[in-house]
Chains A and B, each alone.
Chain A
Amino acid sequence: MRINRRSTFLSDPVSDLIDVENREVSVAALHDPDLYELEMERIFAKAWLLLGHESEIPNVGDYVVRLMGEDQVIVARAADGQVHVSLNVCPHRAMHICIADSGNARVHKCIYHGWAFRPDGSFIGAPIEKEKMHGEIKSKEQLGLKKARVTVYGGLVFATWNHDGPTLEDFLGDMKFYYDMLFCRTDGGLEILGPPQRLTIDANWKTAGEQSACDGFHTLTLHQSLLEGGAMAGEENTEHESAPAMYGVNVSGNGHSLRCIPADTSWAMMAGKTHAGMTDDERLELMPPPGITKDLLPQVRKNLSAEQLHVFAKAPPVVGGMFPNVNLLFIYSPLRDGTLGSAMVMHSINPKGPEKFEWVTYFFAEKDTPEEVKAMMRAAATQGTGTSGVIEQDDSDTWPHMSESARGVIGRTETLKYQAILGETRPDDWPDKAKVYSGFSKDDAQWNWWLAYRDLMLAEA
């Protein structure tokens, strides 16, 4: 039987679990049901969460149902042309308003008693208007679906229940400089390539969450099969000494982070040649950043600053995440026709209890990419990431082990350790944006993820 220790957390929140001085996190954090409930309240009901992309709902009335924590929300385009996010719970008797996961409806009518709502969440009325079945105590204005605060950024739909908290821009902080390079670089913007993959992983959401914060190190071992297959520029037996893709620039702020892999390394891996001595323009021309085809380069040059273009030329961001539950990959990948292309992937990690999460996978291309290239990018993304991806199927195999370790009364007295410290090291020519860790990929950014977690968990203690 579990003893309810919630009062302990409230009086002395998370400080027992996160040892700031020694950079350790108790394994119990991957298991505790009371901690999980607090996370739902203090993180998933407060932080900005990724819910999809506006290209999924191009027409008025289009909607998709998504998750904010364990709450279902309706993401819909209303008559005003804007994206609205409303709780998928009828204010009358708590029935789900939408019973499909996507579709088009100008009116969402609850199948239980017929209360009806517009795509913007506002209440239209209950059947038999003259009988006033919503009563007279509350006005129609008070009976709309609960609304989340929405910001569409680079076409990505973010929402939060924290109506008075920081804007999305403040939440992203200095890291927005780098995210703009991924999401806001072409005139047409990103386009989603279809409805997302969804699957269940028997692990605590934080196992995937903390990894998304620049865990470069795991790729050497967990993804060794890719080394054995010749990717990542390593040799099978000497990868620990010679894998150059382990060296790069990790950038981190507010718990968000991205790993920037030197273009020199990528170019040497893909073409067997050196970049040395080339100007930024020449480098970008030779190998545009992941997701960008050569004909889109003029748009990228127009939409980004010289500093951002320099980062692209020197070391484009390729993997990373957004606090608390987004993982992303904007990577180079060979395409079906033998050319060098890319895969652009975003995941959301949706908690489903202390030992379960839903792993949602979105694939993207720039809207102005030729359709045949989009199809090849989608195939490359599917083969590398998500359900059957040869990279990520090994990750999904690992995380449940961590949660199982936390189930043991002794196992959960162990700690997750973030003691390999690189320290802030910003190359002279790197923009002064966010925290910059240049060198071998170490634990710095992942530790920052836990500090951001700790800040939010303590915020209302």
Chain B
Amino acid sequence: MSISTQITPETSSAVLTEVDYGSPIHDRITGWYIREARLLDHRLLDEWQTYLAEDLVYKAPVRLTRRVQGFDTEFGAIGHFDDDHASMTARVKRLTGTKSAWSEDPASRTRRFVTNISIWETDIPDEYKVSSYLLLTRNRADAKDYKQLSAERNDRLRWNGERFLLSRRTILLDQVVLGMPNLAIFL
């Protein structure tokens, strides 16, 4: 049984150059994340999908509880998501193009709070590694409480001349046992 250690942004070079906070690139990418959260929270999923690259790899490995010496091996081979562009397209189509995607009908009310954005240059010009923290609240129907989820997301963003596209996302969840009954939403 293989264990992946995707706890840090993966890199092909030994040392990554971090993009300064407050620089134009940092501002632009931070804006991208605010826009993404807004599209998802407002269920503008078709528009969100236009920000996904054709070679997208979208994963959320399951987490394990290890003794502290194994803290960097807490992520398993199986994911809560194990997706690519085609499967994400199918997921969006089910949610927006059918009349019976019951897990999100009535829809969840979600808020994605995205902070702690760190950005690194990569070996490829106009491609960046981005790490962000995500706090998501989810409320459905008349529930008085919220289902919550926190995670670190390790992404790869590519500038295509017009906009950044998401080409890789690894969602590192903080829960071993999820508190929400499904992930019919995107992280």
Contact = CB atoms under 8 A, between A and B. Distances in A.
Contacts of B91: 383, 388, 390
Interface residues of B, number: 40
Contacts of A363: 78
Contacts of A103: 66-67, 70
Most buried by B among A99, A198, A202, A336: A198
B17 interface: no
Nearest to B83: A383
B86 interface: yes
Contacts of B67: 99-100, 103
A234 B98 CA distance: 14
Interface string B141-183: 0000000000000000000000000000000000011111111
Given A388-B183, A394-B103, A397-B182, A197 B80 contact: yes
B80 A195 contact: no
B84 interface: yes
Interface size class of A (residues with CB under 8 A): 35 or more
Contacts of B66: 100-103
Pick the 10 closest A-B CB pairs, nearest first: A194-B77, A194-B78, A224-B100, A393-B182, A199-B178, A396-B181, A393-B103, A382-B82, A195-B76, A387-B80
Interface in A88-106: 99-103
Interface in B77-93: 77-84, 86-87, 90-91, 93
A347 B81 CA distance: 17
A336 B176 CA distance: 27
Nearest to B70: A103
B64 A195 contact: yes
Nearest to A400: B181
A100 B65 CA distance: 5
A379 B83 contact: yes
Contacts of B183: 387-388, 393
A429 B150 CA distance: 55
A201 interface: yes
B78 A378 contact: yes
A397 B140 CA distance: 10
Contacts of A99: 65, 67
B103 A200 contact: no
Interface string A389-427: 010111011111000000000000000000000000000
Nearest to A386: B80
Nearest to A389: B182
Given A388-B183, A397-B102, 18 more contacts: A103-B70, A194-B76, A195-B62, A195-B77, A196-B78, A199-B181, A202-B181, A221-B100, A223-B100, A224-B100, A225-B102, A383-B83, A388-B91, A390-B91, A397-B103, A397-B181, A397-B184, A400-B181
Nearest to B100: A224
B39 interface: no
Given A197-B78, A398-B102, A388 B65 contact: no
A11 B135 CA distance: 51
A388 B80 contact: yes
A405 B176 CA distance: 29
Contacts of A221: 100
Interface string B45-89: 000000000000000101011110010000011111111101100
Interface string A214-240: 000000011111011100000000000
A363 B61 CA distance: 13
A375 B87 CA distance: 15
B79 A382 contact: yes
Nearest to A56: B1
B100 A193 contact: no
B103 A101 contact: no
Interface string A363-387: 1000000000000001100110011
A444 interface: no
A157 to B, nearest CB: 14
26 contacts: A99-B67, A100-B64, A101-B64, A102-B66, A194-B1, A195-B76, A197-B78, A198-B177, A199-B177, A199-B181, A202-B181, A224-B100, A336-B86, A379-B84, A382-B82, A383-B83, A383-B87, A387-B182, A387-B183, A388-B60, A392-B182, A393-B181, A396-B103, A396-B181, A397-B102, A397-B103
